[in-house]
Amino acid sequence: MPHDLALAIDLGGTKVEASLVDREGTLLDGSRSRKSTGAAKTSDELAASVRAVVTSALAALPAEGRVSGVGIGAAGPIRQAEGLVSPLNLPAWRDYPLHELVSEIVHEHAADLVADAPVTLRMDGLCITLAEHWVGAAQGVGNVLGMVVSTGIGGGLILGGHTVPGPTGNAGHIGHVEVAGFDDPCACGGRGCLEAVASGPRSVAWAREQGWTGTTGEELAESYAAGDGVARAAIMRSGRAIGRAIGSVTALVDLELVAVGGGFSRATPDLFDHIRIGIDEHSGLEFTRKVRVVPSLLSDIGPLVGAAALVHRADLL
Amino acid sequence: MPHDLALAIDLGGTKVEASLVDREGTLLDGSRSRKSTGAAKTSDELAASVRAVVTSALAALPAEGRVSGVGIGAAGPIRQAEGLVSPLNLPAWRDYPLHELVSEIVHEHAADLVADAPVTLRMDGLCITLAEHWVGAAQGVGNVLGMVVSTGIGGGLILGGHTVPGPTGNAGHIGHVEVAGFDDPCACGGRGCLEAVASGPRSVAWAREQGWTGTTGEELAESYAAGDGVARAAIMRSGRAIGRAIGSVTALVDLELVAVGGGFSRATPDLFDHIRIGIDEHSGLEFTRKVRVVPSLLSDIGPLVGAAALVHRADLL
């Protein structure tokens, strides 16, 4: 059924996007749209942004098309069973009923076309992991951590061939797995969380404390490429911490593969060498060292493809 | 079928035990036996110990009894699919075919009574978690970490109502989840692993470094009860590290409940207060703080009951 489409929605800290996605994981031409979100927005403004992108995507539905389901990936934490979201970087939304909002918008605008379409909400980290498993770097692998290393650090789990959302929907928060030897304060209130050590902004901050004078992750990558010693130390530090956390996670759930994406993960291909060093430092145990770490094969469409997988690959849920 | 029995075997670093266990999780009177193992034993001596306990348990099979399956819990690491074990504290056995050995012994001694009995091997941490879920502190809870805090620190996972062995069978190794702020060298080759910080022997060693003069976990517990400042600091340190690791694990897999057993976990009931402080220190995230931590309800029969659950509760595998 070539016109069996998913409506995919990705809600993040800086933007919300929607698109129609076919059964092969391809975004339908002209159906993708984006609106900004952000910490300054009110709840009504956020809802209006969601409404705008969903309406725009549905307006692109071809005459012969049909929406078989709606998939929503949202920044966490969430309360999956209740359909509520509390994205850390969107303070206006705490326990906000996003599932209900999307259901209403969809039925207002296209009740005839989506009458029976189920609406499925998951954390965004789970969605990007699904996308890697479906069409990315983790195809055919049953025990996978998908990771995003960017402004924050997040992820999702597939174990034994199925997604692991957890009872509240928040499994996969590798950003809040601690790393030994570090004590950096984390936005979550803890200390030494991976996100507090190894994210793009935290790596930039660390480099600045050592005397580097740039201000962005992109500049840090440029300095690394130019051989700047502090920039090299900063990215090595990030990679080793990521590897140490992957080691802990593998000790716990016996991962086979980690697929790493996100802007800061592309700072330099060397990052993956530093991650490997971190994994080997973590432990000499054979079963933790066996984990493979590869770059994501998805571009910035990963979150939307993953949200669509909630519909098209519901067999993995 | 009251006489539908499991043959349960638990292989650990200091002993191997076997027993017949009924469908209610009760050990059959007179069927339990034990032999020592230990780092000094040769491979043949270890095999003879296994043979002795299995033979002894089978000799107790009542006339009207039937062995419907054999469950083996083994100290890790293991290679579950191949039936091989490499218990860290039994250096004579590396990739040893324990599944094959047990199958041979069982069929030699009772081929008529166990003709179709499947033999299932899992890591011991998974078995104790199954036991807690079946008849212990985690009944009715779908997302559980079972933990043993003793000479080492190990565990096992039930997520979404089913065990998570991992592709190699080694999931649940919480002892090798790192704890931020610590740098203690671990026997696994890493640094800052929970086991290297918080086990009984490591807590004793830390207390001695601070001037305490005892030598065992039992003495440390007595000093704690007597109000000794260093002993109190040592057990507080252990509990907080355990709590921090539980926080990391909950961030990753969204646990509902942790059931903690093992000799050192009974040093003082206060340990659970220190664990709670560690969880709250780990993060302010609501979904990590929601995890409950309770003492194991199983005595030292837990590992055998859990091995029997591999047979009687195969629906959870």
- The ipTM of this complex is 0.96
Same domain, B143 and B217: yes
Contact B252 A169 (CB under 8 A): no
Same domain, A287 and A311: no
User: For residue A101, is pLDDT > 90?
Assistant: yes
Contact B254 A182 (CB under 8 A): no
Give the other-Cβ count within 10 Å of B96's Cβ: 21
Look at residue A56 and tell me if it is in a domain: yes
Q: Give the gap in angstroms from C-alpha B244 to the nearest C-alpha of chain A.
A: 8
Look at residue A76 and tell me if it is in a domain: yes
User: For residue B44, is pLDDT > 50?
Assistant: yes
Q: For residues A282 and B191, what is the distance between their CA atoms, to the nearest angstrom?
A: 7
Look at residue A134 and tell me if it is in a domain: no
What is the pLDDT at residue B111?
62
- Chain B within 8 Å of A190 (Cβ-Cβ)? yes
Same domain, A149 and A281: yes
**Model pLDDT for residues B50-61, shown as the tens digit of each residue:** 999 999 999 999
Same domain, A191 and A257: yes
Q: How confident is the model at residue B305 (pLDDT cuts 50, 70, 90)?
A: very high
Q: For residues B296 and B266, what is the distance between their CA atoms, to the nearest angstrom?
A: 10
Q: Which residues pair with B5 in a beta bridge?
A: B67
Same domain, B120 and B150: no
Look at residue B129 and tell me if it is in a domain: no
Same domain, A48 and A176: no
Q: Which residues pair with B66 in a beta bridge?
A: B4
Same domain, B232 and B206: yes
What is the pLDDT at residue B89?
87
- Chain B within 8 Å of A126 (Cβ-Cβ)? no
Segment A59-88 shows an average pLDDT of 94
Contact B189 A284 (CB under 8 A): yes
Q: For residues B42 and B50, what is the distance between their CA atoms, to the nearest angstrom?
A: 13
Q: How confident is the model at residue A89 (pLDDT cuts 50, 70, 90)?
A: confident
Helix, strand, or coil here: A122? Answer: strand
- Chain A within 8 Å of B281 (Cβ-Cβ)? yes
What is the pLDDT at residue B113?
65
| Domain containing residue A24 | 4-126+301-316
**Model pLDDT for residues A293-316, shown as the tens digit of each residue:** 999 999 889 999 999 999 999 999
Average pLDDT, chain B: 95
User: For residue B2, is pLDDT > 70?
Assistant: no
Q: Give the gap in angstroms from C-alpha A167 to the nearest C-alpha of chain B.
A: 7
Look at residue A131 and tell me if it is in a domain: no
Same domain, B186 and B266: yes
- Chain A within 8 Å of B176 (Cβ-Cβ)? yes
Residues on chain B touching A142 (C-beta within 8 angstroms): 167
Look at residue B58 and tell me if it is in a domain: yes
Same domain, B13 and B110: yes
Cβ burial A43-65 (10 Å sphere, 16+ → b, else e) = eeebbebbbbbbbbbbebbeeeb
User: For residue A1, is pLDDT > 60?
Assistant: no
Segment A200-208 shows an average pLDDT of 98
Q: For residues A32 and A140, what is the distance between their CA atoms, to the nearest angstrom?
A: 28
Contact A252 B173 (CB under 8 A): yes
Q: How confident is the model at residue A2 (pLDDT cuts 50, 70, 90)?
A: very low
Read off the CATH number of the domain in which A235 is found. Answer: 3.30.420.40
Look at residue A132 and tell me if it is in a domain: no
Give the N- to C-terminal CA distance of chain B in Å, as an integer: 22
Residue A228: phi and psi, rounded to 5, are: -60, 130
Look at residue B131 and tell me if it is in a domain: no
Same domain, A82 and A25: yes
Q: How confident is the model at residue A115 (pLDDT cuts 50, 70, 90)?
A: low
Backbone dihedral region for residue A66 (phi beyond 0: left; psi -120 to 50: alpha; all else: beta): beta
Q: What contacts B213, CB < 8 A, 6 or more positions away?
A: none
Same domain, A105 and A161: no
A8, A21 Cβ separation under 8 angstroms: yes
Contact A166 B254 (CB under 8 A): yes
Pick the residue from chain B with its C-alpha nearest to A125.
B252
Same domain, A185 and A261: yes
Helix, strand, or coil here: A255? Answer: coil
Structural domain total, chain B: 2
Residues on chain B touching A251 (C-beta within 8 angstroms): 170, 173-177
B76, B124 Cβ separation under 8 angstroms: yes
- Chain A within 8 Å of B283 (Cβ-Cβ)? yes
Selected for mutation to probe chain B from A141, A242, A248 (highest B CB count within 10 Å) is A248
Q: For residues A166 and A113, what is the distance between their CA atoms, to the nearest angstrom?
A: 32
Segment A18-45 shows an average pLDDT of 97
Q: For residues A82 and B235, what is the distance between their CA atoms, to the nearest angstrom?
A: 39
A291, A245 Cβ separation under 8 angstroms: no
